[in-house]
Structure 1
Amino acid sequence: MTADIAETGVAGEELKQFIERIERLEEEKKALSDDIREVYAELKGRGFDSKVVRQIVRIRKQDHAERKEMEAILDLYMQALNMA
């Protein structure tokens, strides 16, 4: 690596290792994304609404207090628009 830096001013081997790690992780991410897409297709095939399930997954990621605050604001806005 020292010779690499001396010749080019850049640690080429180290850079290459970082890039290869990123590429492997991108491949894993794509595989996981494909798996998730298949699960959504399966649940849709079983009669579930995938949009609603996606929303539930997003809500479950939120902190309880954050979710309650969002629900209160949503309720307030819906009342203001006579939608409640």
Structure 2
Amino acid sequence: MGDNSSAFGIARDQLRAFVERIERLDEEAKCLNDDRKDVYGEAKSMGFDVKILKKVIAIRRKDHDQRMEEEALLDTYLQALGMVPAAEEE
């Protein structure tokens, strides 16, 4: 029976270590999110549009090819809906 309780003790210690690491990471993430919120608030107080700022950040995260493909597809959809003039053919 001692062997099972020893294994249980090891598993318990590992579980506790994982839980504590996750809790620390959650706390760090909360702090980072609070910092991000503060920066957006500062940008807003300086007259920047936060919604547009978030879009700019999302665009910058994408690589060039992905961004160009999405923009071309968006343009195609907008043209199909008559929301922008169709590109003139040369």
| Counterpart position of 2:88 | none
Counterparts of 1:17 and 1:6 in 2: how far apart (Å)? 20
Selected match of 1:7 from 5, 8, 13: 5
Deviations 1:13-40 (A, max 9, x none): 0110011000000000000000000000
Q: Structure 1: any 5+ residue segments left out of the alignment?
A: none
CA RMSD for the aligned pairs? 1.6
Q: Structure 2: any 5+ residue segments left out of the alignment?
A: 85-90
Using the TM superposition, give the Cα deviation of residue 8 of structure 1 relative to its aligned residue in structure 2, in angstroms: 7.9
Ranges of 4+ aligned residues in structure 1 off by more than 4 Å: none
| Counterpart position of 2:56 | 56
Identity rate of aligned residues, in percent? 47
Q: Number of matched residues?
A: 81
Per chain length, whose mean CA-contact separation is higher, i.e. which structure has more relative contact order (CA < 8 Å, sep 6+)? 1
Using the TM superposition, give the Cα deviation of residue 63 of structure 1 relative to its aligned residue in structure 2, in angstroms: 1.1
Q: What SS does the corresponding residue of 1:82 show, helix, strand or coil? A: coil
TM-score (norm 1): 0.90
| Structure possessing the higher radius of gyration over alpha carbons | 2
Counterparts of 2:29 and 2:50 in 1: how far apart (Å)? 21
